[in-house]
Chains A and B, each alone.
Chain A
Amino acid sequence: MAKLSKSAKIYLAFVFFILYAPIFYLIFYSFNSGGTMSGFEDFTWEHYAAVFNDTRLLIIVLNTVIVALLSALISTTIGVLGAIGITFLRNRKMRSAVLSLNTVLIVSPDVIIGASFLILFTMLGVKLGFASVLVSHIAFSIPIVVIMVLPKLQEMSSTLIDAATDLGASQRDILTRVIIPYIKPGIFAGFFLALTYSLDDFAVTFFVTGNGFATLSVEIYSMARAGITLTINALSALIFVVTLGLVLGYYFFNQRSAASAGTGGTRL
């Protein structure tokens, strides 16, 4: 494997710097006793204390995480099965029709998705709240999972499945022992993107949520009228640190167990 050149390293460092700059800016001001995101006065922890005293905010955060995790999990399951189904569709026209339908939600503006889902739920008589939000998040995450998994499936060589069939593997075995392990990187990518979409969304959630249920982005959007308080900065800093810790921890834990099991890497 080629070593990265110096210019490549500088380039990557620059990209990462830009990506993280606004986040560090938010975190920096979360320690500002001044109360706004300009003119740093004194260092303080008060905004962090405020986060933990605000039960309503904590409930919203937990709800946001629950919706994100569950919607990502369910949409990944449905999406992966869907992608496998699409790959094996015999009729080529049918396949591209399904693929086009799949793309619709990815590229539709949130406002339209939100409005049409709202009409849909109303027609079906669904009460707006946790369930409607969860279902909507699952709905708009499914296509993104399919998109992430599909290339892996298409790249999978037919010889692999031939071999399995020749060895007498059942349909179920082929699915669980051959296909799914092969497309695992795509599954993870899909899961993480679904998580991202769910955490980021406010327009769709705004439409389909009802009494007493809010996610963080909806709350922030509504708060914007009077300017965002630094409590939200502090909260974002906490979320950022926790996710970063979890991701790093998960990665290195996985790395170690993979190394000991001898199954590192995705290449054959």
Chain B
Amino acid sequence: MRALNLTERIRMAKKSSRPWYLIPYYLWIVLFVIAPIVLIVYFSFQDLSGGFTFSNYADFFSSTYLRLTLSSFWYAFLITLISILIAYPTAYWLTKTKHKQLWLLLIIIPSWINLLLKAYAFIGIFGLYGPANQLIQFFGASPLQILFTDFSFVFVAVYIFIPFMVLPIFNSLDKINPALIDASRDLGASQWMTFRRVIFPLALNGVKSGVQVVFIPALSLFVITRLIAGNKVITLGTAIEQQFLVTQNWGMGSTIAVFLMLFMIIIVLLTGPKEKGGALNGKAK
């Protein structure tokens, strides 16, 4: 019987010894994941004077926060979708370049320059007298108000998230066994067919991790809502920041955070890797 899977094999090899190397990782989970979650849930039941209350949750369901949640979701959805649309072809063609690892690094490098600085650069670029409007004028149109619109917000947000979307998609595309593609070609599939039936399903996991690292952070963007959107777009992140840093109402801030975590769990469940099947990605099956 050779039906033993990887896990069992390793287990046997180790004679089910305790994996010592997990200790620091578990320690990290307890200290920096579980403890903060407990703290936040605890704070979410506190009112301003530190007493126990459900009022924060009641407040969350007031019209302001529900509207805020809806509009946050809408923008996060747009940002994620556009990021995928731009990042997917980028990642796909990058895997076909000669120095693909180098090109990938070059995609990441812009995110090493401080975000705030890039935001300031965008303020200049999108300004009434900036290069973007000079280009528009060059084509004969009159200058537009680009800065402080929802367009500029989505543009800059997508700009920020592109590397984080390209990376996982690139990784999953890159590990597709070329033999599979050759086989598909040999069987007479067109390029489009090959893409749709072979490459796309196999790269789906990459897209899913991309969605995970883009969607929720997009819900909680907060610096560029002010700098680029002039507060005409407000996200849950802005609301949390305000509650923590301005109103000092940690209870309400934590409550919003609890909801954000709930949304996150939903997203992870929806996009999480299916055990077995998909995870092996058609390689060496």
Contact = CB atoms under 8 A, between A and B. Distances in A.
A interface bracket (residues with beta carbon within 8 Å of B) = 35 or more
Contact of A232 (B117, B178, B264): B117
Contacts of A154: 273, 279-281
B7 to A, nearest CB: 6
Most chain B Cβ neighbours within 10 Å, of A84, A89, A104, A174:
A104
Interface in B162-177: 162-164, 167-168, 171-172, 174-175
B25 A79 contact: yes
B171 A186 contact: yes
Contacts of B34: 101
B63 to A, nearest CB: 23
B212 A88 contact: no
Contacts of B230: none
Interface string A233-253: 100100110011001100100
Nearest to B87: A15
Contacts of A109: 217, 220, 222, 236-237, 240-241, 257, 260
Contact of A142 (B25, B89, B101): B25
17 contacts: A2-B96, A20-B110, A23-B110, A25-B124, A82-B25, A90-B7, A106-B217, A115-B250, A120-B35, A148-B167, A151-B175, A158-B4, A228-B120, A236-B114, A243-B112, A255-B99, A266-B175
A171 B168 CA distance: 29
Contacts, number: 290
Interface string B147-159: 0000000000001
Nearest to B130: A38
The B interface is mostly helix, strand or loop, or mixed, namely: helix
Interface string A175-190: 0000000000110010
B125 A21 contact: yes
A171 B28 contact: no
Interface stretch (B11-19, B46-54, B138-146): B11-19
A196 interface: yes
B interface bracket (residues with beta carbon within 8 Å of A) = 35 or more
Contacts of A195: 112
Contacts of B272: 96, 99
Contacts of B115: 200, 202, 217
Contacts of B108: 192-193, 196
Nearest to B129: A38
A19 B116 contact: no
Contact of A117 (B29, B32, B89, B237): B32
Contacts of B124: 25, 29, 37-38
